[in-house]
Structure 1
Amino acid sequence: MENILVAGANGTTGKQIVNLLNESQYFNPIAMVRKEEQQEQFKAKSIDTVLADLEKNVDHAFNNVDKVIFAAGSGGKKVKEVDENGAKKMIDASKNTNVRKFVMLSSMGADNPEQAEDLQEYLKAKHNADVYLKNSGLDYTIVRPGTLTNDKATDKIELQEKLNKSGEISRADVAQTLVRTLNDDISSQATFEIIKGDTLIGKALEPVAV
């Protein structure tokens, strides 16, 4: 079982990621949260937790961590502190502890934030974090979904390095895509966009397999 540290575990998408990992026979989730009261929901399911704040030092969270999923977000309130600098802290700590893979939940539009009509500051922060990860020397996958919805999972997506169109996707399908990219034979040093589609997630990920 590989230990997977999930930053942003208390978020809407993060909770789904942790649950998927917990159901997996390959992965053991470590839910990284900021507040003690956020730990209870995970402890009730016997899921490992760690207290760490992305605005502070996070090095202590990396005890016996094999891989990382960064699914944290400030909700637009602290994009520089959390979405950018928080991600960079996680990347640095991953390098220092020889984490084997870093999976980044980014956003469609992060490749060209200045072209966005809104959310420019958020997309700039995501862009800077993505570039930092690409230059880190870590094995990584950067997943850039379209607009997130709370719809049920379809287990199907449309995936391209660049889709050249906008679209929606459920958080459930995003969570499943992120978890699947943890596998060693999937999407190493890859960046791609996803929206809801007609291709099974496992099949859609095959073109970016190593």
Structure 2
Amino acid sequence: MENILVAGANGNTGKQIINLLAKSQYFKPVAMVREESQIEQFKIKGIDAVLGDLEKDISHTVKGIDKVIFAAGSGGKKVVEVDQEGAKKLIDASNNANIKKFVMLSSMGADEPGQANELQEYLQAKHNADEYLKKSNLRYAIVRPGSLTNDDAKGTIEIAKKLGHRGEISRADVAQTLICSLHDNGPSDKTYEILNGETSISEALDSMVSEEK
């Protein structure tokens, strides 16, 4: 089994990622949290956790880790410090630790932040982090969902490099897509947008792999 560091494990999407990873036969989650008080909720479930503040040195968090999911966010409060520079720090640490794959939770609109009517600063921060990852030596997948909902998982999505329209998708389906993107045979060095759709997540990701051949 591969050890997966989840940055942002205490967030709404992060918790879903952790719970799904805990049931996986391939992956073992390691929850990265910012405060000591957040560790217990994972420990009681038998899930490993590590303290790591994205505004500080986090090089220790990738020890013994095989792959990384970056699902952290500042909630709009510190987009440069956390969403941008925090992501860069974890990318650098992952590079130095020879992490096998880095899966980034980004956002639709991050490719053209200047075109956004709102959340421009946030989308610019995500754009900068995504570009930094692309220029790193890491294998990566950048996943850009539409507006996140708390609906139940459907297990199906719509996917493309650029979908050309807006929409919604549940955090549950985003979490599953991020985890499926970890696999070695999943899309690598790819950026893709996802929304609610009718194609199974595994088939959707397979279509992105076949597209690169």
Q: TM-score range, shorter-chain basis?
A: over 0.9
Q: Write the letter of the residue equivalent to 2:32.
A: M
Structure-to-structure mapping, 1:21-32, within 5 angstroms = 21-32=21-32
Give, in angstroms, the shift of residue 207 of structure 1. Answer: 1.4
- Please list the CA deviations of residues 12-57 of structure 1 after superposition, one character each: whole Å capped at 9, or x if unmatched: 0000000111100110100000011111110010100000000000
Question: 1:146 maps to what in 2?
Answer: 146
Counterpart in the other structure of 1:8: 8
Query: Which residue does the alignment assign to 1:88?
Result: 88
Give secondary structure in 2 for the equivalent of 1:54. coil
Aligned to 2:48: 48
Residue equivalent to 1:115: 115
Q: CA offsets per residue over residues 43-101 of structure 1, 9 Å max, x none? A: 01010000000000000111101000000000000000000000000000000000000
Match of residue 173 from structure 1: 173
Q: How far off is 1:203 after superposition?
A: 0.8
Is the contact made by 2:160 and 2:208 (CA closer than 8 Å) also made in structure 1?
no
Give the TM-score normalised by the residue count of structure 1.
Answer: 0.99
Aligned-residue identity in percent: 66
1:199 is matched with 199
Given the two structures, how large is their TM-score scaled by the length of structure 2?
Answer: 0.98
Give ranges in structure 1 of 5+ residues lacking alignment. none
Gaps in structure 2 of 5+ consecutive residues: none
Count matched residues.
Answer: 210
Give the residue type in structure 1 aligned to 2:178: L
Q: Conserved in 1, the CA contact under 8 Å of 2:9 and 2:72?
A: yes
Deviation at 1:209, TM superposition (A): 2.0
The Cα of 1:181 is off from its aligned counterpart by 0.4
Aligned equivalents of 1:62, 1:122: Cα separation in 2: 26
Counterpart of 2:48, as a letter, is: D
Structure 1 equivalent of residue 78 of structure 2: 78
CA distance in 1, matches of 2:180, 2:17: 10
- 2-structure distance, mates of 1:104, 1:63: 19
Deviations 1:168-193 (A, max 9, x none): 00000000000000000101000000
How far apart are residue 208 of structure 1 and its match?
A: 1.8
Structure 1 stretches (4+) deviating beyond 2 angstroms?
Answer: none
2:171 and 2:117 map into 1 onto residues whose CA distance is: 23
Give the Cα–Cα distance (whole angstroms) in 1 for the partners of residues 177 and 65 of structure 2. Answer: 20
Give secondary structure in 1 for the equivalent of 2:31. Answer: strand
The answer to whether the 8 Å contact 2:110/2:124 transfers is yes
Q: Which residue of 1 aligns with 2:129?
A: 129
